[in-house]
């Protein structure tokens, strides 16, 4: 390495740590350090994690991580259960309080990055992301590693939401054009009446391409509707739907809604499982043929 490369890289490190605010004791004005926030992130996004896996992947000393986890348990943010496959290992699970503590951290980090990107043009953002990916690749990140990110919609995403709903549900369930028309109506109404204080759309990106969507829209001052949850077949089993629903519910709680409601179909077992796991309960069933065949529509609710 040339003599000039070392100070240049050190200068960049100093700049970027200031830029993302990692030098303070508390991360994003929370009661958590940066390391604690990163551990919370791993707990929220991994399927059945163990302490050993997190310590290995984050490069943390096992004793240091153990002390962090003990603090989480004392604050009732974390629970443990024995692994069904190996009784010697404990599975780590965020409690309801743990998920509530993590949600504002996750949204705060997203807002921080959005604020950093706001002055940049679309082309400049693309160059920035490509430069970051180049750094990762040159410094040893696995070339095939894909990352799941939830982001705000970009130009073209709303058209993608409509097209993918129409095509996927047509191919997988035989629903006709009336379903795509309904999706287009929901999207158009969201765009025309969008209230940034109380409504959101999230697009899930995996490996740099859209693989999912979800909307939260205002129904009344106390009731929000979860709409248009979609996960591409190629991304199913990766926890995309779970993350989208958790983000949606967390935002609804932050906005002060008392209830989140949704409408789905009884045949959509994977989506129903996600809703049930998130705490929604089935409150109403009705037979209909809105999309070309007989089916059972279901209304689910979550009290916040």
Characterise 29 by phi-psi region: left (phi > 0), alpha (psi -120 to 50), beta (else): left
Q: Look at the chain and report how many structural domains it folds into.
A: 2
What's phi and psi for 81, nearest 5 deg?
Answer: -145, 150
My answer on whether 111 and 161 are in the same domain is no
The helix/strand/coil state of 275 is helix
Does 56 fall in a domain? yes
DSSP string, 61-72: -HHHHHHHHHHH
Q: What is the pLDDT of residues 198-256, one digit of tens each?
A: 999 999 998 778 999 999 999 999 999 999 999 998 888 888 999 999 999 999 999 99
What's the rounded Cα separation, in Å, for the pair 273 and 264? 12
What's the rounded Cα separation, in Å, for the pair 113 and 105? 12
My answer on whether 154 and 298 are in the same domain is yes
| Domain that includes residue 33, residue range | 5-138
Question: What pLDDT, on the 0 to 100 scale, is given for residue 291?
Answer: 92
What's the rounded Cα separation, in Å, for the pair 181 and 176? 9
**Closest of 152, 274, 259, 168 to residue 215, by C-alpha:** 152
Domain boundary, last residue among 138, 162, 183:
138
Domain boundary, last residue among 71, 106, 138:
138
C-alpha 57, offset from chain centre: 20
My answer on whether 159 and 296 are in the same domain is yes
Does 143 fall in a domain? no
Question: What pLDDT, on the 0 to 100 scale, is given for residue 118?
Answer: 87
Question: What pLDDT, on the 0 to 100 scale, is given for residue 97?
Answer: 92
Does 255 fall in a domain? yes
Does 20 fall in a domain? yes
What does the angle CA 141 – CA 25 – CA 54 come to, to the nearest 5 degrees? 40
Question: What pLDDT, on the 0 to 100 scale, is given for residue 24?
Answer: 59
Per-residue three-class SS string for 231-267: ECHHHCCCCHHHHHHHHHHHHHHHHCCCEEEEEEECC
My answer on whether 32 and 117 are in the same domain is yes
Residue 80, token pair as written in the block = 């443990």
Does 97 fall in a domain? yes
User: Do the Cβ atoms of 102 and 42 come closer than 8 Å?
Assistant: no
Count Cβ atoms within 10 A of the Cβ of residue 291 and give its class: 0-12 exposed, 13-18 middle, 19 or more buried: buried
My answer on whether 99 and 206 are in the same domain is no
Residue 16, token pair as written in the block = 């970027």
Domain boundary, last residue among 138, 162, 186:
138
Residues of the chain with pLDDT under 70: 1-3, 21-28, 84-87, 122, 133, 137, 140-146
C-alpha 3, offset from chain centre: 42
258 DSSP β-pair partners: none
CATH number of the structural domain spanning residue 86: 1.10.10.10
My answer on whether 236 and 121 are in the same domain is no
Question: What pLDDT, on the 0 to 100 scale, is given for residue 166?
Answer: 95
My answer on whether 155 and 88 are in the same domain is no
Question: What pLDDT, on the 0 to 100 scale, is given for residue 83?
Answer: 73
CATH number of the structural domain spanning residue 230: 3.40.630.30
My answer on whether 180 and 89 are in the same domain is no
Residue 22, token pair as written in the block = 């990692």
My answer on whether 114 and 170 are in the same domain is no
My answer on whether 107 and 165 are in the same domain is no
33 DSSP β-pair partners: none
């Amino acid at each position: 390495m040339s003599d000039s490369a070392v100070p240049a890289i050190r200068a960049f490190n100093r700049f970027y740590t200031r830029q993302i605010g990692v030098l303070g004791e508390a991360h994003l004005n929370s009661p958590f350090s940066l390391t604690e926030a990163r551990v919370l992130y791993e707990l929220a996004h991994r399927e059945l994690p163990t302490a050993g896996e997190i310590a290995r992947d984050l490069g943390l000393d096992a004793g240091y991580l153990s002390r962090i986890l003990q603090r989480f348990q004392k604050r009732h943010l974390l629970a443990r259960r024995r692994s069904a496959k190996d009784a010697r290992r404990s599975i780590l699970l965020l409690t309801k309080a743990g998920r509530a503590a993590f949600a504002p951290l996750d949204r705060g980090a997203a807002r921080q990055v959005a604020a950093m990107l706001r002055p940049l043009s679309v082309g400049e953002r693309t160059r920035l992301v490509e430069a970051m990916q180049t750094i990762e690749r040159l410094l040893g990140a696995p070339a095939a590693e894909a990352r799941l990110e939830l982001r705000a919609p970009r130009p073209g995403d709303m058209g993608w939401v409509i097209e993918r709903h129409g095509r996927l549900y047509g191919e997988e369930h035989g629903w006709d054009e009336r379903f795509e028309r309904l999706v287009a109506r929901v999207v158009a109404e969201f765009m025309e009446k969008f209230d940034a204080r109380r409504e959101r759309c999230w697009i899930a990106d995996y490996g740099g391409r859209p693989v999912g969507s979800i909307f939260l829209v205002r129904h009344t001052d106390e009731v929000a509707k979860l709409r248009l949850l979609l996960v591409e077949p190629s991304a199913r089993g990766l926890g995309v739907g779970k993350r989208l629903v958790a983000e949606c519910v967390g935002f609804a709680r932050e906005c002060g809604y008392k209830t989140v409601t949704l409408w789905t179909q009884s045949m959509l077992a994977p989506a129903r499982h996600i809703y049930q796991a998130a705490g929604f309960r089935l409150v109403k069933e009705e037979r209909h043929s809105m999309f070309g065949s007989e089916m059972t529509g279901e209304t689910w609710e979550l009290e916040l």
